[in-house]
Amino acid sequence: MTGRVVKRIGVVGAGTIGASWAAYFLARGLDVVATDPAPGSRERILEMVHRFWPVLEAMGLDAGASLDRLTITPDGALDLDGVDFVQESGPEREDLKIDLFRRLDAVLPADVVIASSSSGLKISNVQSACAHPERCLIGHPFNPPHIIPLVEVVAGRQTGDAAMQAAIDFYRAIGKHPIRLNKEVTGHVANRLQGAVWREALHLVLTGVASAADVDDAMSYGPGMRWALMGPSLTFHLGGGEGGIGAFLKHLGGPVQSWWDDLGHPDLTPETIALVEAAILEEVAGRSTAELAARRDKFLLGLMRLKAEL
């Protein structure tokens, strides 16, 4: 499996995540075959890929990169002849993915890796109906995949080491930053981290501590600026000065424990959801999602350049 050279990618499920993946693969000089069963998917895929392209041009295209290397198959067809790697980004429903992986497994050569973009499902269940489960794994990107480097690579109970290494090598070769999870866990790593932070952010808003805008500013003008370079553990290691994490925990372990003990546990009831939506719409202040996304992408592009320099 590790001997296959990846030149042609199958993108199965080309909504927001899949189309973003497709654009990124094209920017890396690869051929892409995209398929999605939703009505009007061809026009939607083309619109999104063209919309993502200017950012990818600003990031730098690889030799041979071209929008002309995109093929969109008939709606619902699994016409993936000649692909060397499959990135699946279908709906986040386990029953649908089990059936989709079964069908993909039946039509693809046994040495083609099938990676799922699933943000939280366990691949052990998704691969359960496959004749060749050893080539199935999670390759979860962070949104938007055409900009953010992170890919979480997770094996299932039947995933082979060769497939895992092939996927990690492939993602790294195209400029991604893959991490390998040692075990399956719901939500993987990054979504659990951001889910924990957001839970507390909502608790602070719902209990009247601060507005949604001020809580967001507390993150983006505070810890978020440090976390863009190094994660929370290394950040607290620096917080200990010359003594590092040991000194930090010796002096501040007690206060940290008191923070943990006082964290909130909001439940997403209909009433809570309504309050959260109202608070966030107040923060949005009429700005469209397209405007906010463009602002985000411009910032991410600059941040990517800075990280590359460092």
**Is 1 inside a domain boundary?**
no
- Tokens 């699933």 correspond to 118
- Distance from CA of residue 101 to its chain's centroid? 20
pLDDT, tens digit (0-9, with 9 covering 90-100), for 202-229: 999 999 999 999 999 999 999 999 999 9
Distance of alpha carbon 72 from alpha carbon 11, whole angstroms: 9
pTM: 0.93
- 207 and 167: one domain? no
Identify which of 46, 131, 138, 125 has the alpha carbon closest to the alpha carbon of residue 88.
138
- Distance from CA of residue 215 to its chain's centroid? 24
- 205 and 174: one domain? no
- Residues spanned by the domain of 20: 8-180
Residue 2: predicted pLDDT: 53
73 φ/ψ angles, rounded to the nearest 5 degrees: -85, 165
251 φ/ψ angles, rounded to the nearest 5 degrees: -90, -30
Q: What's the rounded mean pLDDT across residues 99-128?
A: 96
What total of structural domains would you count in the chain? 2
- 12 and 85: one domain? yes
- 209 and 128: one domain? no
Distance of alpha carbon 56 from alpha carbon 176, whole angstroms: 14
Q: What is the CATH number of the domain that holds 21?
A: 3.40.50.720
Q: What's the rounded mean pLDDT across residues 153-182?
A: 97
Q: What is the CATH number of the domain that holds 264?
A: 1.10.1040.10
Select from 150, 180, 210 the last residue of a domain.
180
- 34 and 167: one domain? yes
pLDDT, tens digit (0-9, with 9 covering 90-100), for 61-88: 999 999 999 999 987 678 898 999 999 9
Return the percentage of the chain with pLDDT > 90, whole number. Answer: 91
Taking a C-beta distance cutoff of 8 angstroms, is the pair 123, 136 a contact?
yes
pLDDT, tens digit (0-9, with 9 covering 90-100), for 225-250: 999 999 999 999 999 999 999 999 99
Average pLDDT, the chain: 95
Taking a C-beta distance cutoff of 8 angstroms, is the pair 73, 112 a contact?
no
